[in-house]
Structure 1
Amino acid sequence: MNPSFHLLPHSATTASGRYDALFITQTIVLLTVALAIAILIVVFSVRYRAGSKADRSNAPTSARAVEIAWTVTPLVLFIATFIWAAYDFTQLYRVPPDAMPVFVVAKQWMWKLEHANGKREIDELHVPVNRPVRLVMTSQDVIHSFYVPAFRIKQDVVPGRYTTIWFIATETGEFHLHCAEYCGTDHAAMGGRIIVMQPGEYTAWLARGNTQPGMAARGFELYRRYGCSGCHEAQASVHAPDLHGLLGRDVHLSDGRSLIADEAYIRDSILLPRKDVVAGYKPIMPSFAGQISEEDLLAIIEYIRSTGGDHARASQ
């Protein structure tokens, strides 16, 4: 056997071991059940074949214990693995409050990534080891899928909405990044790498050669340029909702619904302002659809985050 052969890809995050254990357990259960059924089929086919000397007299009309066993045992096993998988799935959405945000915009055929301090990357992502990282992702054109086999994470990246995924890398090194959704002619070439570094090295890398303003600072300039401050600040003459500390806050809507403000809500409020109108306010805000790029939207959101908030995520 080739000594470099591995049954599963290399594991490099805190969650990947749990996913591997779940996968192996499910595989063992399924193979065990399939093997047991196959053995019984062969045994019965040989023993009770036409012309065999098997005693067919006084054949039982029922076997309640056997029927219960072959129904309940697989059911319990499958429900147990379902509960296990459901628990791990919920953990994907329980983001640690201290998670480091990274903003991802996918397009044919590249990954554009930006850190909170404004440093940008293409087809590469540098992150520190043993620190939670939260990716906020959207697509500029078609559906893509952010897939890192060693991290056991795969999340669709969809135009017109934000999707998120988080991870904690457990070792330094380079790990392959792929697009796992067919996205056009050069889909196979849409890849990259995740570079996991020691915290000190990452901090030095993050500051090195960065001439971009931080995302929050750039977002504030965009917030003023597009006239948001003329309506949403306390001194504004227009009656509009206060955006300070908005992320994570409960928002009550004019149709009686309520929601927790997240990145998707802010994006929709800018591009589709009549979708979720805040209670007590008139739907007078114009749409900025087609006027603001995805990168600028993310910068405005990061500015709003810098004013406080994220109460819901911090309390999880």
Structure 2
Amino acid sequence: MAKQSYSWFPPEAAAEAKLLDDLFSLFTGLGTFIYLGVIGPFLYSLVFHRASKYDMSDGPPIEGNTWLEIIWTAVPLVLVLTLSFVSYRTYEKMAVRGPMELVHLHMPQMMQPAYAEPFDSKPQQEIQNAVETAPIEQIDVTAKQWAWIFHYPKQDITSTELHLPVDRRVRFTLRSQDVLHGFYIPAFRLKQDVVPNHEIDFELTPVKTGTYRLRDSMFSGTYFGANQADVVVQPFNEYQQWLADAATGSPTPAFNRAAFEYSQANDRSGTTKDKVAVRGWDTIPPASPPVVNYAPKHEPNSPPA
């Protein structure tokens, strides 16, 4: 079951994903062992030691056993403390940082960022060298009802699609323009609440190229389910080329699923058949579509093909 648990998740696209999956595998294996250790004797007793149909007598009196009570108290205590320590060490290795006010209290500078164990035929040393020798990429992330906006300050580029270089540490500065949002990329196994009036630093290391999905994990209002974006992890040279291409784009309003559905639902000129959303509850109007240098050609908030 511990090995099987790895197949329950999306691809491990970040170094932190490997650390988290290893921890989950440990919990799954231990939990399965305890479950079978309890249910096995229970089922055996239920089948082979049942009282006869008309046996109404009491069972034999059993005195308490001091050593048995010590063991079944000490063993769970040791297990819980051990798992707590392993969980904390995993979180420490991930070094995802957190709210700016708490960084210096809980994330000292000597903490090393996450480096995954070898997987997907990529040696650990190769990942570690790539991360250590490359500068950290800085990306500002703004969440609002209901859109994600990504700003690359060095190139002064804005986009509704998140592009990341593989094998390089990335630092996000997360902001919310209105309510509580959740920055969640399942393939990275990481989630961070985006709190209004706070700037939150968040770090990760993508290690697998591909296109993944960013979702709003918090209920931020009526159209929060449409608040999604593609996350493209690509080789560094392709990432640099994308930045160069995006820099040439003129800022234009990007397509926004929430704004589109809201306008369709409130368009009284069309028929019900033409509307993509029929709702019976009130909602605030979505913010205006973001003005960005780059927006994907496909519809950004539709499920990937």
State the TM-score, normalized to the length of structure 2.
0.61
- CA–CA distance in structure 2, aligned partners of residues 202 and 63 of structure 1: 66
Aligned residue for 1:138? 175
* Structure 1 position 191 matched with structure 2 position 228: yes
Q: CA contact under 8 A between 1:155 and 1:164: conserved in structure 2?
A: no
Q: What is the one-letter code of the residue matched to 1:22?
A: L
Trace 1:228-239 onto structure 2 (pairs within 5 A): none
* 1:82 CA displacement: 1.0
Q: CA contact under 8 A between 2:163 and 2:239: conserved in structure 1?
A: yes
* Structure 1 position 38 matched with structure 2 position 42: no
Task: Report the count of equivalent residues.
Answer: 207
Aligned residue for 2:76? 74
For structure 1, which runs of at least 5 residues remain unmatched after alignment? 213-316
SS in structure 2 at match of 1:208 = helix
Q: Give CA deviations for 1:267-291 in whole Å, capped at 9, x if unaligned.
A: xxxxxxxxxxxxxxxxxxxxxxxxx
* 1:56 CA displacement: 5.8
Q: CA contact under 8 A between 2:12 and 2:208: conserved in structure 1?
A: no
- CA–CA distance in structure 2, aligned partners of residues 18 and 201 of structure 1: 27
- CA–CA distance in structure 2, aligned partners of residues 69 and 54 of structure 1: 31
- CA–CA distance in structure 1, aligned partners of residues 142 and 71 of structure 2: 52
Q: What is the one-letter code of the residue matched to 2:217?
A: A
Q: Give CA deviations for 1:138-164 in whole Å, capped at 9, x if unaligned.
A: 100111101101111110111111222
* 1:77 CA displacement: 1.8
Match of 2:187 among 141, 150, 155: 150
Aligned residue for 2:202? 165
Q: CA contact under 8 A between 1:13 and 1:167: conserved in structure 2?
A: yes
Match of 2:157 among 119, 130, 137: 119
* Structure 1 position 17 matched with structure 2 position 55: no
Aligned residue for 2:274? none
- CA–CA distance in structure 2, aligned partners of residues 28 and 52 of structure 1: 40
* 1:166 CA displacement: 1.1
Q: What is the one-letter code of the residue matched to 2:157?
A: K
Q: CA RMSD, aligned part only?
A: 2.9
Match of 1:177 among 192, 214, 235: 214
- Residues 95 and 25 (structure 1 numbering): CA distance in 2 closer, same or farther, change over 3 Å? closer
Aligned residue for 2:303? none
State the TM-score, normalized to the length of structure 1.
0.59
Aligned residue for 2:247? 210
- CA–CA distance in structure 2, aligned partners of residues 210 and 196 of structure 1: 18
- CA–CA distance in structure 1, aligned partners of residues 44 and 68 of structure 2: 17
* 1:25 CA displacement: 1.4
Aligned residue for 2:142? 105
* 1:137 CA displacement: 0.3
Trace 1:43-54 onto structure 2 (pairs within 5 A): 43-44=44-45, 47=49, 49=51
Q: What is the one-letter code of the residue matched to 1:66?
A: L
Q: Give CA deviations for 1:245-274 in whole Å, capped at 9, x if unaligned.
A: xxxxxxxxxxxxxxxxxxxxxxxxxxxxxx
Aligned residue for 2:64? 62
* Structure 1 position 92 matched with structure 2 position 130: no
- Residues 143 and 84 (structure 1 numbering): CA distance in 2 closer, same or farther, change over 3 Å? same
* 1:86 CA displacement: 1.1
Q: What is the one-letter code of the residue matched to 2:150?
A: L
Q: Which has the bigger relative contact order, CA under 8 A and spacing at least 6? A: 2
SS in structure 2 at match of 1:182 = coil
- CA–CA distance in structure 2, aligned partners of residues 52 and 101 of structure 1: 74
Question: Which has the larger Rg?
Answer: 1
Query: Identity over the aligned pairs, expressed in percent?
Result: 30
The answer to which of 94-103 and 129-138 deviates more is 94-103
